[in-house]
């Protein structure tokens, strides 16, 4: 699954959890990002790369955000990845 597809799924799940939630603007505000930025991510035009933004997304949605973007989650030590490479 691509990052933008994962993000759209997260948006749909967020809306389904509370019927009073409305639109991308509210979702962006909840995530702590701009609506334009969120729209670009969902459209596949750009992806977040800023560490602080990634931490916000991980906090509100899931640490899976790092995997969908090809990054190592910050709570995973580099040693575990290096040991996997040496086997």
Q: Which domains does the chain have, with CATH numbers?
A: 3-85 (1.10.260)
pLDDT digits (tens, 9 = 90+) for 6-53: 999 999 999 998 877 779 999 999 999 999 999 999 999 999 999 999
pTM of the prediction? 0.80
At 76 the pLDDT is 55
Of 55, 49, 13, 16, nearest in space to 32 by CA? 55
DSSP 3-62: HHHHHHHHHHHHHHH-TT--HHHHHHHHHTS-HHHHHHHHTTS-----HHHHHHHHHHT-
């Amino acid at each position: 699954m691509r990052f933008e597809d994962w993000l759209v799924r997260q948006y749909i799940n967020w809306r389904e959890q509370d019927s009073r939630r409305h639109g991308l603007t509210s979702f962006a505000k909840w995530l702590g990002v701009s609506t334009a930025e969120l729209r670009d991510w969902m459209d596949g035009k750009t992806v977040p790369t800023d560490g602080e933004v990634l931490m916000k997304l991980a906090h509100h949605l899931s640490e899976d955000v790092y995997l969908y973007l090809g990054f190592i989650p910050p709570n995973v030590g580099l040693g575990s990845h290096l040991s996997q490479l040496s086997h």
